[in-house]
Amino acid sequence: MTATPQPIRVILANDAEIIIEGLKGLLAPFSDRIDIIGTATGDPEILHEALVEKAADVMLLDAFGRSGLGLDAARKVLETNPDFGVALFTEADDLQHLFSALRLGVRGYLLKSVPTEELVSGLERVAAGETVVDRRLATSAALVAARSTARMSWSGAHLGLSRRESEVLRAFAHGGSIGDVGEQLGIGRETVRTHMQQVYRKLGVNHRSAAVVVAWREGLVD
């Protein structure tokens, strides 16, 4: 007998309670797929929810008017927990805003005009570890990213790694410790760890040795 899939566990975040209630109503018909386990209505509370609600799979972060359309709040959450599944729900359909969100580590970028079924599906995909971009932006974003990557000269760009992430990974591949890497690049230990968390996410691995194998296989190390 096939087990019934469990609903994903979601935190709803916005700086206005009325928006939270609207999101609850929007998602209510999908209670068999979405379990709203918490809400957050201000930046400090959002950070607290992301840290305390360990059982959550995804935070649906509705765009904020007072905090950079949600990017500031997303940054605070992801600086503390880079692997947390943050999905931005926004009216901003420009590519620069999208790229800024993705660089922060946001895994979902969904426009408010999306049908609710697609919103729910997107949240499920984010919970499963995918990066989800609203289909109305995805093609344009892919074309821009392809052109930009073609102009990048550092090894690792073709894997989606930033220049700094590539430098950190190469330093580890040469056998450096966290302290060695930080001293070599002039950054702190926590910054080194944060960069490596982003490397793991982008390469689809979960530990340093696997990332190093990818680095050697893909020619990042000379």
Fold of 153-217: Arc Repressor Mutant, subunit A (1.10.10)
User: What confidence score (pLDDT) does residue 72 get?
Assistant: 82
Residue type, 46: I
Per-residue pLDDT for 17 more than 60? yes
Per-residue pLDDT for 75 more than 70? yes
Per-residue pLDDT for 146 more than 70? no
> What is the spatial distance between Cα 202 and Cα 221, in angstroms, rounded to a whole number?
18
User: What confidence score (pLDDT) does residue 24 get?
Assistant: 94
Per-residue pLDDT for 23 more than 60? yes
The full set of domain ranges for the chain reads: 8-142, 153-217
Residue type, 129: G
> What is the spatial distance between Cα 141 and Cα 144, in angstroms, rounded to a whole number?
5
pLDDT tens for each residue of 117-140: 999 999 999 999 888 988 888 766
Angle at 7 between CA 5 and CA 8, to 5 degrees: 120
Asked whether this chain's domains 8-142 and 153-217 adopt the same fold, the reply is: no
User: What confidence score (pLDDT) does residue 59 get?
Assistant: 92
Per-residue pLDDT for 213 more than 90? no
pTM over 0.75: no
Per-residue pLDDT for 145 more than 90? no
Q: Which CATH number does 8-142 carry?
A: 3.40.50.2300
> What is the spatial distance between Cα 11 and Cα 16, in angstroms, rounded to a whole number?
14
User: What confidence score (pLDDT) does residue 3 get?
Assistant: 61
